[in-house]
Amino acid sequence: MSDVETPQPANGDALSTGTAAPPPTAMQRADPRHGTRVKVSVHRLDGGLEDGESDARILSTEGFPIFTPPDSDRARWIPARDIKYVVLGSLDDPNLASDPGDKSPERKAILRFRDGEWIAAYMESGQSADSAGLSIKIRLTERQRVIPAVAASA
């Protein structure tokens, strides 16, 4: 354990540093103690698939944190440049939302990736184009359900 010295003014008041503390980084935000982990499947551009859990719901410019055994107390970061999309949840979940269908007013999209894969999805409206990922709901046509996901925007 190391000693930490904190400077204090002679009158006992709190010392002002003049600047606010910097916001937490993505690494600091991914905290397993939050208890909000969900099953995730990270689909990589190289064709790989990584299953695990995560407490993140967005794709940051740094990537995406995933907890996998045997070290499920520490997140491993998958770089954003390697990610095609991340499925949030499990295909076996009986509580998946039903697919509203082709006549739905929701914004529909076909997402095509560099490797030729494509997925049908609903896109959430009002998303900025400069974010690292887009929030989508992938259409599972054979089950008539949708599952939440985040697609890489680059």
- Which pLDDT tens digit goes with each residue over 121-131? 999 877 765 57
Residue 126 lies in a domain: yes
On whether residue 10 sits in a domain, the answer given is: no
User: Would residue 14 count as lying in a domain?
Assistant: no
Q: Domain for residue 123, yes or no? A: yes
The 10s digit of each residue's pLDDT in 38-76 is 999 999 999 999 999 999 999 998 999 999 988 888 999
**pTM: predicted TM-score of the whole model, two decimal places:** 0.73
Query: Under 8 Å CB-to-CB from 150, ≥6 apart: which residues?
Result: 57, 58, 59, 64, 85, 86, 88, 133, 134, 135, 136
**Does 139 reside within a domain?**
yes
Domain extent for 144: 26-152
Residue 134 included in any domain = yes
Q: What is the pLDDT of residues 90-138, one digit of tens each?
A: 999 999 999 998 888 889 999 998 888 999 999 987 776 557 888 999 9
The per-residue pLDDT of the chain, averaged, comes to 79
Answer yes or no: is 79 within a domain: yes
Predicted confidence at residue 126, as pLDDT, reads: 76
Q: Considering its fold, how many domains does the chain have in total?
A: 1
Helices (H), the chain: 26-29
